[in-house]
Chains A and B, each alone.
Chain A
């Protein structure tokens, strides 16, 4: 790990965020409507809209507004929401724990379920256990998360009454209640990803089991399980790690839809409503946050690669 490497990664992060934020800023120029018209609704007249645009600073050229936004953002001022007249920092700050909790719980579920199952399937390749797992896997993988969400709501919420659909409890009210409410939506997010994880790990394990070093280790008298956990797992994890990194980005994106299904007022819900209200200070912040998260996760994965396989170096 050298300084040059970190500097390069940081550079990538900054450039990515700049491009992403500028593109989302531009998108607001292309789509019809603006925050002033949105706020005024059917009460809008040309004169009123113009006055409000003036007040919001919307009538300045895009580049000027982007520059101003960027300068404020760098200084830590995320602006004020047009729709809520609240500081964006406060709004996002109160929603971020929700999305983070969803991401973490779902990710943990994926890890806990997919690693043992993947190993098991790989180890027993072709046997009935493996075949049964493959069938279940195929089914779960082909169901989209949001649909799974609806099924879970119906079955566990309305029929079995294990949870109250739509009964989201804020983390400020009861942290345990909050976590419990997040379990069904997290299952909906995690299951399809989990199935994919099992499939990947299984394939990867099978491939590794056929390698020369496995045969050598076994012929030297190592027990099969020792080989599996000590050597095979480590090597098999490398391709799966990339998949997991992409999964985190996917969970964040997937949570936007799942939040709608389970009526969780997280970042996703806020992103969607802010887009339709043309509330770009909020949209900008959320997009930069998500993009930043994806870049950082990739960075962490790079570091993990080196831990698992010291042969992988900077270049």
Chain B
């Protein structure tokens, strides 16, 4: 009873605020049906100018930390991407390119990573980047004095050596050929006393100022080592209300917004350039595999058969999005198994049979807990509720505030089912699949499968890339066969940009690369 009242109160708050959004944007590969093909041909025609400024709307302020090692929210990382760089950084195709390092080498046994520092690279405060800064940054993230290291993968680091003024060698305890993905960890100056309020990095933009709940301003870094940014200044303006986004764009107070929904894009498409990509996240009805009746595989499978993914996409996003069948999204082409999306075509009769076999011939009552600030997830839950009704499952939707979701559902796992999108924190297969090993601290669905666990152990030991890919694919298949969750889609992501600008690029990760955006020459 108390619970219900509380959640009502927060629905209201949730509607007014929007916190962390999960997932990133990437250009859709199969763009035959949408407009992104004409947009890309347009891109080639425009001519960039140097200089100018842009105002980018963001749905939430940076509320975790400006310190790149402590930042966790996807919305924070997408901004910090412009300020900080690691030894390597991801490019728009998902490959890692050298950044603070000029070159890197990985030993055959996958245990030693050697980096050569880039000649003449400078921090935003004008100081040269030294190997000591690199060592400091990595050791800071590997420090276990607070229990867990800031970057979990860094618990595998045995030691960091700096044999000379331009070489950094990282030794690992166990072989890990995917470790490069984690070396995107920002390199920061070791003598910066206030990384929380005075962020200094090596990226194409440098921090200027911020005003809470108002904006964050960055300017072009003149001494950037690589291709410099076109724009002189970027203002990230906080707009927590979805109405404010459209009025802001139409009224001219913002020039770009990266995650508009289908209604907004329909309203804006005449005056704005709309880029279409995908969010790169796994939207699903996540089921708590440890509670009744979801501990029964037949119940989970029955639910999968009851759901029509295309209908969900039609209802919530005009049919945009890509149906998925496991915890892997299409942008991870290497690991993605497309057939899994077709494992459970909608089949109400079969679903009913499975439910009867599981001992629920008349269905059951259940609760879907949804964070109220994500309208798309709320809408999805509404559609699922109707679809589940067909097989006698009576789902009640409970809206809760994001912070309550983090504590009740994610941390305490005190829930039946929830609709959210889960993203990948790094460009590795493990970033999505390690989560569901039975002893993972973030296995919030309590998934348990011994074969799955042992496959992951085997991956950890393997240094052969092809074999790893094969094993990851097997893990994905287990998730689908066991119907760990009712997988739905990788949601569509649309970006609105003022037609005076061009150059927006999608990444397979959650970043907004402002250095590539430019003002079109008239």
Q: Which residues of A contact B (CB under 8 A)?
A: 30-34, 37-51, 55, 81, 83-86, 91, 94-95, 150, 153-154, 157-158, 161, 164-168, 170, 257, 260-261, 263, 265, 269-270, 272-273, 275-279
Contacts and interface: CB of A to CB of B under 8 A. Distances in A.
Contacts of A40: 64, 72
B211 interface: yes
B439 to A, nearest CB: 12
21 contacts: A32-B6, A33-B403, A33-B404, A38-B406, A42-B20, A48-B146, A51-B146, A94-B212, A95-B212, A95-B213, A166-B239, A167-B251, A167-B253, A257-B16, A261-B244, A265-B215, A269-B213, A272-B13, A275-B13, A276-B14, A279-B63
Given A46-B441, A276-B19, A265 B213 contact: yes
B406 A164 contact: no
B248 A165 contact: yes
Contact of B441 (A45, A51, A55): A45
A275 B243 CA distance: 21
Contact of B241 (A46, A263, A275): A263
Given A47-B441, A276-B403, A157 B241 contact: no
A39 B146 contact: no
A150 B243 contact: yes
B410 interface: yes
Interface in B454-513: none
A37 B403 contact: yes
Interface in B420-461: 422, 425, 441-442
A166 B156 CA distance: 48
B16 A157 contact: no
Contact of B248 (A46, A47, A263, A279): A263
A277 B63 contact: yes
Interface of B: 6, 10, 13-14, 16-17, 19-20, 22, 61, 63-66, 70, 72-73, 146-148, 196-197, 211-215, 238-241, 243-244, 247-248, 250-254, 401-404, 406-408, 410-411, 422, 425, 441-442
Contacts, number: 159
Nearest to B440: A45
Given A83-B63, A276-B19, A269 B72 contact: no
Given A42-B72, A42-B442, A273-B61, 12 more contacts: A32-B403, A38-B403, A38-B406, A39-B64, A41-B20, A48-B147, A51-B147, A81-B212, A165-B244, A265-B238, A272-B13, A277-B403
The dominant DSSP class at the B interface is loop
Contacts of A49: 411
Contact of A166 (B211, B213, B254): B254
Contact of A41 (B13, B73, B244): B73
The dominant DSSP class at the A interface is helix
Contact of A42 (B22, B63, B238): B22
Contact of A273 (B63, B73, B147, B408): B63
Contacts of A42: 20, 22, 72, 406, 410, 422, 442
B81 to A, nearest CB: 17
Contact of A270 (B212, B403, B406): B212
A81 B213 CA distance: 13
Contacts of B16: 257, 260, 272
A285 B410 CA distance: 30
Given A275-B13, A276-B19, A158 B250 contact: yes
Nearest to A91: B212
Nearest to A86: B197
B251 A165 contact: yes
Contacts of A260: 16, 240-241, 244
Given A31-B404, A41-B20, A276-B402, A170 B211 contact: yes
Contacts of B10: 31, 276
A223 to B, nearest CB: 51
